[in-house]
Chain A
Amino acid sequence: MSDAQRPSDDGVSSEQPSTGGVGGGDSDSGDGNDEFEPVQVFPEAEEMDLRPGADSCYKCSTCDTNCPVAEVDDEFPGPKFQGPEQWRLKRQDDHDIDDSVMKCSNCMRCDSACPSSVPLSQMHNTARAEYVEENMSKFSREYLRNRVLANYRRLAPLASMFPRTANFVMGRSVTKWLGEKTLGITSERDFPEFATETFREWWTDRGGANVENEDKRIAYFHGCYSNYNTPEVAKALVHVYEHFGYEVMVPEQSCSGTPMFANGMLEDARRAAETNVRELAAAIEDGADVIASCSSCSMSIRQEYPELFDFENTEDVAANTWDAVEYLRVHEDLMGALENTTVGDEFDDMAYHAPCHSRNQGLDGQTIEVMDAIDGIDAHDVGDSCSGISGTYGWKEENYETSMKIGEEMFEHMDAAEAETGLTECPTCSMQMEHGTGYEIKHTLEVLEAALVGDRDGSGSGSHASAGAGTETATESN
């Protein structure tokens, strides 16, 4: 049942060393030499008429007050204009989407802000895809760069084959300079380091799951970042879930699509989503619920898939996908299990940033509540501002400054908090947190692992599988 595959050699030749981007996604065992295929977003994808979504808008502008981009950059006219106003002004044949849509960072804060349920992010996603298709030159540097950033999954496997070389090459200033000059990727940021062993390699070497339990199964959607860059997060998830007696499945998967949505590469996202929906639906069929450790991945599967695609089982997969901590809170007595647990010094004081995509799922308060249950942890919420990086957004040369301006409030609050470790659930937020403050950034699952499992060495965790406080039968929510 562990059908994990070592990501195959994507065979991408190494003349593109400066493209280690960001985002989420995994290789779907590429078939070698796949250059980017020609795009065909529209009209193959059905044109979506979202004008009726404007019916819900009563112009209160609450969305605008939540937009972190409009606050620092007046070139971006805010979500009310981009969403309901622009759509309402459209006639069927109008395709001149305003170019400012490309300034949207896709943080999706407007979605949870709107008191009237206007499908704001869906409107942005669709308009952006239409803009990229109709108005952006496919030969422009911007288009190429966006395509590269959006398709991190195609490049990450290569880097992870030779992680040390890749880390070396990407860290070199001349490479970064080339990145900025040739592609418009900012040289201000350090490319994320690649792990010497990916999560999926570890999983295969480990022999897959250590617990078998047909009553309690999860299918883990790890996304690309915890596979290639932070496998310790993925391992923590496995350990924590096995601690509660779950059988962990690691199905075949592709990028969640988040960076593609953000860049208007809807057709790339469609291909990735199709793989994911098919694989995850099969896992659900096998009795699993889908668990994601990255807040953008869960957001994408839960909200964007059903809004933008209509593959068979899309809705079903969305409804059965959970955030990793949320799932345990509802299905296990997580708070009870954490009572009287402790963690090492490294987690004593933490500055927690709730990613926008957690906020969108109503999960922004969850981490602090869970941390409070662990003895000795002092976790400070650094407020409700956006980190500013928003996936690939802050990697673009032209957005770097805006991105750092948006992040300023978070940096200030992190500085003010008495902590030197940061905590978050989003890989790109963690990059921004680290970039802005120099803190070491942890994922909530790593803290849970320390509290519940203790031994962070992956090989030994199997012994906890049936022990511990959390093995009572899951209480189904009604």
Chain B
Amino acid sequence: MAHDTAVLVLGGGSTGCGIARDLAMRGVDVTLVERGNLTDGTTGRMHGLLHSGGRYAVSDQASATECIEENEILREIASHCVEETGGLFVQRPEDSDEYFQEKLEGCRDCGIPATVLSGREARGVEPYLAEDVSRAIQVPDGAVDPFRLCVANALDAERHGARIETHAEVIDLLRDGDEIYGVEVRHDSGPGKRTHKSPGTTEEITAEYVVNATGAWAGQIGDMADLDVAVRPSKGVMTIMNVRQVDTVINRCRPKGDADIIVPHETTAILGTTDEEVADPDDYPEEQWEVDMMIDTLSELVPILEEARTIRSFWGVRPLYEPPGTGTQDPTDITRDFFLLDHDERDGVSGMSSIVGGKFTTYRAMAEEITDHVCAKLGVSATCATAEEPLPGSEDISVLEEGMDDFGLRSPIARRSNQRLGSRAADVLETDEPNPVVCECEGVTRAEVQDAIDQSGSDLNAVRIRTRASMGNCQGGFCCQNMATELHPRYDEATVREALDELFQERWKGERHALWGEQLSQAMLNYALHATTMNRDNDPAGASTQVDYAQFDGGA
């Protein structure tokens, strides 16, 4: 039977996008469907650490080795998504010397460059480190923007012929006896780029092979075909600071524990995290104590965090998995390794494999392994090139180095724009038209927003993850409106209005967890601007009853 596509990948996170890219580069016809935006699941809800492997150097040396290998590859192929910050494992007086030693030796065993710094040297690197930090191990941790990385994978997959459908939720697996041959999806407003207000449709997409790369949601997909995929979703909180208190990844050097990492991320620093199993990856409590713990515990390492401004918090759900019968109690102890479940071998149902477990840093290696598996099934012999071929934006790293063009922009805005766009910068930023800054917090210009709209349609959250617009300290209070107006006249007024409401509400969702001090003042100012000055809360354009204008003062 003729299929719509050779391989259908479910899930637009790092794994799914990585697989789609790999397959497409090997010449395989691939379609990827994602329920929401790219990265909406777990990928967009992580702390952005590019592991050196140091974190696993004691507990899981195989993972550690894999991390350092992939770390080095990503610095090459995704330089515009990676910041080589370096990392420190810092020891406080109450942290054990034995573990410090084990960590150091573990790093060396795994080929992770590791140097011991005295407390003073560590504070030389990071001036805000606590006075009582006694020692540190310096490792090549990095920071990575998971949004850009994921989007770049998807973009490259598309360039190689893949079809990427976001806002396409899988509502059923198509199963014929013991064979899965596709899915039925519900397009929110598609198919194609998202446009608010366009009616949704459903579509059956058939495929020779289906890859379930939905991570924490893999169990739900499995259920549609009566396949038992026992993921154990585990939530973790991440709290975003307004500015970078540190420019190096700071890890607490102790065996395990909550609130033990600070990752500089773009203009911010992200505090993480907790590890708690949840029943439903879409519905779990987000609690005050988790946020408080991040601040209180990590202030032990970097004391100014105590009084610093946080702009929001978010939770991610790890797609943890362990083979049936392992029975680990504490989710912290569940392996971070990934598992490829071939449902043919496992359940006698052909046409689909599920991927569970795993971690972001090694997404490419996972994708390679899975793609190898799929290619074997399909009889494709092409080999993997994803470790050598740079991603779009990283083709020419010299752009990121000295002599970058400023495109008529103020230097910090030019610098940030160049860093985000990499080798695409000139294509995007060169314009004869005025190019004002749309998001002042993050230094995002109109041209960059327009480029993101080209890629993603009327979805402003998709624009946001591509550009960082609305991710700074005002949390969109001042720029959501400006981002929305960039949709016009490509999209009509009603579409723009709905897109704006959606983005504004999404920004509020995370900001709720930072509502005290400056951020509460910011929230009130944002509220006043949108409700008082613009009257968006009682917009007559959205009302069911018409305003009777004649009842009002029409002038003297």
- A201 CB–B CB distance under 8 Å: no
Considering residues A54, A57, A60, A89, which has the most beta carbons from chain B within 10 angstroms of its beta carbon? A89
Given contacts A88-B243, A89-B267, contact A56 B518 (CB under 8 A): yes
User: Hey, which chain B residues are within 8 Å of A86, CB to CB?
Assistant: 410, 412
- Could you give, for residues 21-47 of chain B, a 1 whenever the CB lies within 8 Å of some chain A CB and a 0 otherwise? 000000000000000000000000000
Q: Is the CB of A98 within 8 A of B411?
A: yes
Cα distance, A452 to B349, chains bound together (Å): 104
Smallest beta-carbon distance A158→chain B, Å: 39
Q: Is A3 an interface residue (CB 8 A)?
A: no
Q: Does B380 contact A (CB under 8 A)?
A: no
CB atoms of B474 and A97 under 8 A apart? no
- A85 CA to B308 CA, complexed, in Å: 17
Cβ 8 A contact of A58, one of B83, B413, B473: B473
Residues A94 and B412 in contact, CB atoms below 8 Å apart: yes
A262 to B: closest C-beta gap in Å: 21
Return chain B residues, CB-CB under 8 Å to A54. Answer: 242-243, 473
Q: Are B440's CB and A81's CB within 8 A?
A: yes
Choice from A49, A57, A91, A96 contacting B411 with Cβ under 8 Å: A96
- Given known pairs A92-B247, A98-B412, A100-B410, the reply for A52 and B522 (CB within 8 Å) is no
B474 touches A55 (CB 8 A): no
Q: Flag B90-122 by CB within 8 Å of A: 1 or 0 each.
A: 000000000000000000000000000000000
Q: For the complex, is B416 an interface residue (Cβ under 8 Å from A)? A: yes
- Contact assessment for B441 and A88 in the assembled complex, using a CB-CB cutoff below 8 Å: yes
Nearest neighbor of A60 in chain B, beta-carbon distance:
B525
Residue B393 at the A interface, CB < 8 A?
Answer: no
Are B242 and A85 in contact, with the CB atoms below 8 A? no
State whether A88 touches B267 (Cβ < 8 A).
yes
B247 cross-chain contacts in A, Cβ below 8 A? 91-93
Instruction: Tell me if B244 counts as interface (CB < 8 A to partner A).
Output: yes
B446 to chain A, nearest CB (A): 16
- A51–B243 touching, CB < 8 Å: yes
Chain B residues lying within 8 Å of A81, measured Cβ to Cβ, are: 410, 440
CB under 8 Å from chain B, chain A span 290-304: none
Report chain B residues within 8 Å CB of A59: 440-441, 473-474, 477-478, 522, 525
CB neighbours (8 Å) of A466 from chain B are none
Q: Are A89 and B521 in contact, CB atoms less than 8 angstroms apart?
A: no
Given contacts A88-B473, A96-B411, A96-B412, A58 and B242 within 8 Å (CB-CB): no
A306 on the B face (CB < 8 A): no
Render A46-69 as a binary contact track against B, CB cut-off 8 A, 1 for contact: 000101101111111000000000
Q: Which residues of B contact A60 (CB under 8 A)?
A: 525
Known contacts A59-B478, A88-B473, A116-B518; decide if A77 and B410 are in contact (CB<8 Å): yes
**Nearest B residue (CB) for A50:** B243
Give the residue among A59, A60, A94, A98 with the most B Cβ atoms within 10 A.
Answer: A59
How far is B243's CA from A90's CA once the two chains are assembled, in angstroms?
9
- A92 nearest in chain B by CB position: B247
- Provide the A74-111 mask, 1 if CB < 8 A to any CB of B, else 0: 00010011000111111111101111100000000000
Give bound CA distance, A98 to B522, whole Å.
Answer: 27
Within 8 A of A (CB), among B386-421: 410-413, 415-416
Q: How many A-B residue pairs have CB under 8 A?
A: 81
Known: A86-B412, A88-B473, A98-B412. A52 touches B441 (CB 8 A): no
Interface string of B41-56 (1 = CB under 8 A from A): 0000000000000000
B308 near A89: Cβ-Cβ < 8 Å: no
- Tell me whether B190 is interfacial, beta carbon within 8 Å: no
Please provide the chain B residues from 454 to 481 with a CB less than 8 Å away from any CB of chain A in the complex: 472-474, 477-478
- The answer on a CB contact under 8 Å between B244 and A98 is no
Known: A52-B304, A94-B412. A85 touches B477 (CB 8 A): no
What distance in Å separates the Cβ of B427 from its nearest Cβ neighbour in chain A? 22
- In the assembled complex, the CB of A379 is this many whole angstroms from the nearest CB of chain B, namely 38
**Nearest B-chain residue to A87, judged by Cβ:** B243
CA distance A341 to B245 in the complex (A): 58
Cα A92 to Cα B127 in complex, Å, equals 11
- List, in ascending order, chain A residues with CB within 8 A of B358's CB: none
User: B interface, by DSSP: helix, strand, loop or mixed?
Assistant: loop
For the complex, what is the distance from the CA of A51 to the CA of B126, rounded to whole Å? 14
**Minimum distance in angstroms from B121 CB to a CB of chain A:** 16
Q: How far is the CA of A49 from the CA of B125 in the complex (A)?
A: 13
Which residue on B lies nearest to A49, using beta carbons?
A: B127
Collect the chain A residues with CB atoms within 8 Å of residue B127's CB.
49
Q: Once the chains are docked, how many angstroms separate the CA of A51 from the CA of B410?
A: 18
Could you say which residues of chain A place their CB within 8 Å of the CB of B281?
Answer: none
The listed residue with most A CB atoms (<10 A of its CB), out of B304, B440, B443, B477, is B440
Q: Is B507 an interface residue (CB 8 A)?
A: no
Q: In the complex the two chains form, is A89's CB within 8 Å of B416's CB?
A: yes
Residues of B within 8 A of A56 (CB): 309, 518
In the complex, A172 Cα to B127 Cα: how many Å? Answer: 54
Binary per-residue interface labels of chain A (321-365) against chain B in the complex, 1 for a CB within 8 Å, 0 otherwise = 000000000000000000000000000000000000000000000
Known contacts A52-B304, A88-B441; A94/B415 CB under 8 A: yes
CB <8 Å contact, A55 and B440? no
Asked if A55 contacts B308 (CB within 8 A), the reply is: yes
CA distance A116 to B410 in the complex (A): 25
- Inter-chain contact A58/B521, CB cutoff 8 Å: yes
In angstroms, Cα B443 to Cα A92, docked, is 17
Q: Which residue of A lies closest to B126 (CB)?
A: A92
Most chain B C-beta atoms within 10 Å of own C-beta, residue among A87, A94, A100: A94
Residues of B contacting A80 with CB < 8 Å? 440
- Contact partners of B518 in chain A: CB under 8 A: 55-56, 58, 116
Contacts of B521 in A (CB 8 A): 58, 116
Q: Could you tell me the distance between the alpha carbons of A52 and B268 in the complex, rounded to whole angstroms?
A: 11
A91 and B416 CA atoms in complex are apart in Å by: 10
Contacts of A99 in B (CB 8 A): 411
- A77 vs B413: C-alpha distance when bound (angstroms): 12
Q: What does the 1/0 interface line of A366-390 toward B look like (CB < 8 Å)?
A: 0000000000000000000000000
Q: Which of B83, B308, B443 contacts A52 (CB 8 A)?
A: B308
User: Nearest chain B CB to A83's CB is how many angstroms away?
Assistant: 12
Task: Give A60 to B441 CA distance when docked, in angstroms.
Answer: 12
* A80-B411 Cα distance, complex, nearest whole Å: 15
Q: Is the CB of A58 within 8 A of B522?
A: yes
Bound-complex Cα distance A47 to B86 (A): 20
Q: Which of A81, A85, A86 has the most CB of B within 10 A?
A: A85
Query: Contact: A57 with B473, CB < 8 Å?
Result: yes
Q: Hey, which chain A residues are within 8 Å of B304, CB to CB?
A: 52
Interfacial chain A residues near B415, Cβ < 8 Å: 89, 94, 96
A209 to B494, CA, bound (A): 79
Q: Given the complex, which residues of B lie within 8 Å of A98, measured CB to CB?
A: 410-412
Give residues of chain B (243-291) contacting chain A, Cβ–Cβ below 8 Å.
243-245, 247, 264, 267
Q: Cβ of A52 and Cβ of B245 under 8 Å apart? A: yes
Bound-state Cα–Cα, A40 to B443, Å: 31
| Nearest CB in chain A: distance from B507 CB, A | 14
| A55 in contact with B243 given A88-B267, A88-B473, A89-B267 (CB within 8 Å) | yes
Min Cβ gap B437→A in Å is 9
- Closest beta carbon of chain B to A130's beta carbon, Å: 12
Contact call A85/B245, Cβ cutoff below 8 A? no
Give the chain A neighbours of B308 by CB distance below 8 A.
52, 55
Residue of B127, B128, B412, B443 ringed by the most chain A CB atoms within 10 A: B412
* Closest chain A CB from B433 CB (angstroms): 17
Q: Of all chain A residues, which has the CB nearest B440?
A: A85
20 contacts between A and B (CB under 8 A): A51-B245, A55-B309, A58-B521, A58-B522, A59-B441, A59-B477, A59-B478, A59-B522, A60-B525, A80-B440, A81-B410, A81-B440, A88-B243, A88-B472, A89-B267, A89-B415, A91-B247, A94-B412, A94-B415, A100-B410
Closest 4 CB pairs of A and B: A55-B309, A92-B247, A89-B412, A98-B411
Measured CB to CB, the residues of A under 8 A from B are: 49, 51-52, 54-60, 77, 80-81, 85-94, 96-100, 116
Given contacts A55-B243, A81-B410, 12 further A-B contacts (CB under 8 A): A52-B308, A54-B242, A58-B473, A59-B440, A59-B474, A59-B478, A87-B243, A88-B473, A89-B415, A91-B247, A98-B410, A98-B411
